[in-house]
Structure 1
Amino acid sequence: MMHSRKKTQSYGVNERHQVVWLIVLAFLMFVSIVFPLFQLFRKAFIDSKTLEVGFSNFITYFQTPSLSHSIINTLNISLWTTVISVILAFIFAYAMARTGIAAKPLFRYIAMLPLFTPTMMHGIGLTYLFGNQGLFTTGFFGWLPFSFDIHLYGPVGIIISEVIYTFPQAFLILSISLAVTDYRMYEAAETMGVGKISQFFNITLPSVKFGIISTCFVCFTLSFTDFGAPKVVGGQYNVLATDIFKQVIGQQNMSMGAVVGMILIVPSICSFIVDRIISRKQQGTFTAKSTVYVIRKSRMRDFWLTLYCSLISGCIVLLFVAVGFASMVTIWPYNLTLSFDHYRFYNAAGAGLSPFFNSVTMSFYTAIIGTAVIFFIAYMTEKIRLFAPLRQLLYFLAMIPLALPGIVIGLAFIFFFNLPNNPLHFMYNTMTILVLANIVHFFSVNFLSATTALKQLDKEMEQAADSMNVSFYRTFFRVTVPMCMPAITGMMVYLFVNSMVTVSALVFLYGADLKPASVAIVNMEDAGDVAEAAAMSMLILLVNLGVKGGYEGLVALITKHRSKRSDKLRIKASSLNSIKKSVGVDAHV
């Protein structure tokens, strides 16, 4: 009787702790997401002069030709980027998934390189290749008998930069889509004598249509909301993301900045809704009875696709080599002597190496704190069986950042944390708000990764812990965290790398002595210190590659160690069974 009473009391303690944590986490999500967004909406819909609620700010925006024309420019850039990027990425992903070409790992690694750099670096690389003093524009400084000018500064440069930026994301999504096609349809088609071209148009494309649609929305949204590339190679060609920067930083017109921010949210929300719908439909395309695609040999196909992948990879490598070479040239293009003077940043507008160390510090805090917070929130929503309304609210709040561009998050943080009567005003212009902005910016992707890892764990573990009167804290730290460690470390790497390269969410929030490296690149480029901007970009690339390479090396080492340990245990078990059989003992005893 007393044991039963004690057990009931213990459950009550666990439940009280859980509901307190859910309330605290929901409050933190409101403070970091909902309240800033409310201030953004308030700025957009309240006239700053009359204080009346309405659409006067939107009317003013659309009646100003120089501002409203930016929407047409942004749509033009996004549509061209989407078409080009999806086509290039689809062929590349098809070569990786459906052919027997050599050097696939090398091609994959090269295709992922743009993810490890700020988008400004793509524009800087194009400047050194196709700018007014670029290698191809000058015919390699007159060494070649020909030269050509692509008129980089404007829509051409922005589109090329955005294609480089969106290509890795498009490649990843399409690779997943092509990897889950049912091979039985191709076997049936071959039995009926259907040719390869007909198979491609009637089987391959329909089977990956959801992936293609999702890729189109992702590419469109990324290019629609990007700030870095248009800032470097946009010239006088205005887009929405640079309009926000000009309105807020240049003219201190917060209302117009809020209006542009609201417009930028629209494609992100549409992309989020479409992605949710597509993900549900795509789950049913590959069943337990499906078979994996079997790659058939074809020398001609593999030759042409190897040539294509080599060309794409060569263009990406050329861009990065150009940035690396330019960062070590004394004076481009007049003195090509190599040195590391630009890496000292003595006379650059970026305040020396301090922005680089600021970014490393900020990214480290983001990775540690962000991973801990995101994983714990995912655990509370996924593994706690009680308080369904609170858990559903928490899940809904966790999904909101997926539809928010980084520049909108930064703008919303200005309006909320810069309020004089806000008790959290002290966070403004500090490292804390930079870390918080990054966590919010990359929250949803990591939250989904964490929930996916948690769903793979046996649901009975928490029930067993409850039945044995074990605190949910102990279950979390002693069981859940160790079993989800691969996902946790992956989240840390993702947060670190993306915090190093992001600029849009931070461009409004940094203090005078806390300028991040990505923002310093923008300032250097504005001041004409392009070589120093290239050097800072290379430092970010090297750090991110080092972190990613270290992570993959650690994973490979752990996997190898576990494999050896499993082999030893298997050998011991086999030896024990042999001994038992030799002495006449049943091996199963």
Structure 2
Amino acid sequence: MRGRRDIWTGVLALAFAVVAVFLVWPLFSVFTASFTDNRTGEVTLANYLKVLGHPYYLRALLNSIIVGIGGMIGAMLLGVPLAFLTSRYLVRGRDVIATLSVLALVSPPFIGAYAWIMMLGRNGWLREAMAEIGIELPSIYGLFGILLVFSLKFYPFVFLLTSSALAAINPSVEEAAENLGAGAWRRFFTVTLPLVFPAVSSGALLAFVLSLADFGTPSIVGGDFRVLATTAYNLFTSEMGGNPGLASTVSIVLIIVSMVVVAIQRRAVRRRNVEGSLVKRMAPRRLGPVSSVLAHLLCYGIVLASSLPSLVVIHTSFRKTSGPVFQPGFGLESYRRILHEVPHVITNSFVYSSLAVALIVILGTLIGYILTRREGVLSGALDSMLLVPYVVPGIVMGLGFVVTFNSPPLLLTGTATIIVLMLFIRRLPYAVRSSASILKQIRGSTEEAAISLGAAPGWAFLKVTLPLMLPGIMAGALMSFVTAINELSSSLILYVGRTMTMPVRIYLSVLDGEFGTAAALSTILLATTGIAVFLVFRYSGRKEGAFV
């Protein structure tokens, strides 16, 4: 048993070392930089006084909160009705709805923003088509465009979590309320909604944090609407070559806002957590003819609206082009152009993501084992630390890596290594959660029996437990790959010309008006994402909740 403790103690020490170097240290560097004067290097509060006292930065802070709350409300307005209708009533093609929701969830939000520009931009085809029949659509640029993209992007969080919670409610609770004379609306707000409140609030929290942290969408469709993420990036680029004090200060404010909302959500869940015991699942009810048509229109309208940007991007990628200008008809000019001009960005994306996933799978599997099988104070602390990448925006982590690894002993800035390590630490929690989840379904006595028969602990893990974990490991690896290959915000800070990735090139192409190139690269990303989603469904037993 001593050897067993030594093996997993060593793994635990390695995990803490990795988290300390690639997570805690960069974030601490951002924190200390926010208190450092750019010119003198002295400790100062001037950066915070400027950020919290200047109308320019306060407006960005207020705008970020508005965007976060707006994205959260939009996600709930779409996700809760969709979950309720598909869970409580007979809606044909629920699997199709869930699959389209997942595809909308895992596709990069900046691609959706770019697609909406082609539809509702100044010369967008949808805007022009509606103008011909006398309907003037609102401009996609500004707050409306940001909230539209975020609502259609993040509602699947609320939908998937709420659907799972609704499926676990004991139907006798709602039946009792109905027998006591409560109407459908009253039952929903007084019985059903309190029961699923933890799930709804968790999905809403994810929508808020991701809306707050997103850089690509406000940068592409925001226009003059500044948020903290774009402000931090602009400050970083203007402070290049020095200590990015103001950019770090804005980043810390961004983290604080996220942490405050997380704390509020957790407190609300504790105060309003209502439990029920599941005896039998509620059978979906059949709607009347008119109600059924309306329900189907609403459900499919939501998922088709969220899928429309991807369809527009794919269609655009096959249009004929002459340089950046589109021509009538279809062709493969955009694909020929990217293969001729920027083939390295495609290779970089796949190579960097694959290397990061290899590291993620190895360490994530071991950490997942420790969290599940070796529970204790240290493993609990490690588990809490691994929640940080969910909350910290990519723009902040990218800034932290630049500040930290821009000088010896770890001079990594400008290399491919720094991008791989960034992707690794940001997506490590996916593999950890997936491994821990599958381990909860595997009896520990199986491994104990192998050890009692003389097998070394490490050998027992490799030969007994690891093969049983493979489905969960594969699902976590694929989700890590999907999110890594679509990473924009941190890569945009870390890349140099030779280390450019597809998301960065897409972003730059959109800003330069090269929509054909952007569409072709986006289609490659979307196809890769779709294949990965199919494989995750296969390895996770088609559980849409695996994505959340």
TM-score norm. by structure 2 comes to 0.91
CA gap of 1:396–1:111, structure 2 versus 1, over 3 A, is closer
Secondary structure of 1:335's partner? strand
Larger Rg: 1
Taking the aligned partners of 2:264 and 2:417, their CA distance within structure 1 comes to: 34
Please identify, of 361-370 and 32-41, the stretch whose mean Cα deviation from structure 2 is larger: 361-370
Please identify, of 477-486 and 52-61, the stretch whose mean Cα deviation from structure 2 is larger: 52-61
Q: Is this contact kept in 2: 1:136–1:148, CA < 8 A?
A: no
Match of 1:424, as an amino acid? L
Aligned to 1:344: 336
CA gap of 1:171–1:123, structure 2 versus 1, over 3 A, is same
Aligned to 1:297: 286
Taking the aligned partners of 2:53 and 2:296, their CA distance within structure 1 comes to: 51
Taking the aligned partners of 1:519 and 1:80, their CA distance within structure 2 comes to: 26
Answering whether residue 368 of structure 2 is matched by residue 368 of structure 1, we say no
Which of 135, 148, 157 does residue 145 from structure 2 map onto?
A: 157
CA gap of 1:227–1:555, structure 2 versus 1, over 3 A, is closer
Q: Is this contact kept in 1: 2:67–2:146, CA < 8 A?
A: yes
Which of 483, 499, 513 does residue 514 from structure 1 map onto?
A: 499
Secondary structure of 2:320's partner? strand
Which of 406, 412, 424 does residue 410 from structure 2 map onto?
A: 424
Q: Is this contact kept in 1: 2:475–2:540, CA < 8 A?
A: no
Answering whether residue 526 of structure 2 is matched by residue 536 of structure 1, we say no
Match of 1:480, as an amino acid? T
Match of 1:59, as an amino acid? L
Match of 2:188, as an amino acid? F
For residues 331-389 of structure 1, the C-alpha deviation after alignment (integer angstroms, 9 at most, x for no partner) is 588633211111223599xx52321221112222222221221111121233236xx44
1:72-471 equivalences under 5 Å are 72-139=62-129, 144-252=132-240, 254-274=244-264, 285-287=275-277, 290-299=279-288, 300-331=290-321, 335-345=327-337, 351-384=341-374, 388-418=376-406, 420-421=407-408, 423-425=409-411, 427-471=412-456
Q: Which runs of 5+ in 2 are unaligned?
A: 543-548
Which of 516, 530, 547 does residue 532 from structure 2 map onto?
A: 547
1:562-577 equivalences under 5 Å are none
Taking the aligned partners of 1:73 and 1:394, their CA distance within structure 2 comes to: 34
Aligned to 1:571: none
Q: Is this contact kept in 2: 1:214–1:274, CA < 8 A?
A: no
Match of 1:166, as an amino acid? F
1:521 Cα deviation from its structure 2 partner: 0.9
Secondary structure of 1:47's partner? coil
Please identify, of 530-539 and 447-456, the stretch whose mean Cα deviation from structure 2 is larger: 447-456
Q: Percent sequence identity over matched residues? A: 24
1:454 Cα deviation from its structure 2 partner: 1.7
Which of 17, 30, 35 does residue 7 from structure 2 map onto?
A: 17
Name the Cα RMSD after superposition. Answer: 2.5
1:484 Cα deviation from its structure 2 partner: 1.2
Please identify, of 320-329 and 119-128, the stretch whose mean Cα deviation from structure 2 is larger: 320-329
Q: Is this contact kept in 1: 2:146–2:221, CA < 8 A?
A: yes
CA gap of 1:346–1:99, structure 2 versus 1, over 3 A, is closer
Taking the aligned partners of 1:368 and 1:226, their CA distance within structure 2 comes to: 26
Taking the aligned partners of 1:122 and 1:339, their CA distance within structure 2 comes to: 23
Q: Which runs of 5+ in 1 are unaligned?
A: 1-10, 558-589
CA gap of 1:213–1:335, structure 2 versus 1, over 3 A, is same
Aligned to 1:567: none
Q: Is this contact kept in 2: 1:154–1:236, CA < 8 A?
A: yes
CA gap of 1:346–1:535, structure 2 versus 1, over 3 A, is closer
CA gap of 1:21–1:209, structure 2 versus 1, over 3 A, is closer
Taking the aligned partners of 2:538 and 2:430, their CA distance within structure 1 comes to: 24
Aligned residue pairs total 537
Taking the aligned partners of 1:284 and 1:451, their CA distance within structure 2 comes to: 26
Taking the aligned partners of 2:270 and 2:281, their CA distance within structure 1 comes to: 21
Secondary structure of 1:235's partner? coil
CA gap of 1:476–1:238, structure 2 versus 1, over 3 A, is same
Secondary structure of 1:337's partner? strand
Secondary structure of 2:286's partner? coil
Taking the aligned partners of 1:255 and 1:58, their CA distance within structure 2 comes to: 9
Match of 1:67, as an amino acid? Y
1:247 Cα deviation from its structure 2 partner: 0.8
1:280 Cα deviation from its structure 2 partner: 6.8
For residues 66-96 of structure 1, the C-alpha deviation after alignment (integer angstroms, 9 at most, x for no partner) is 2221111112222222222211111111122
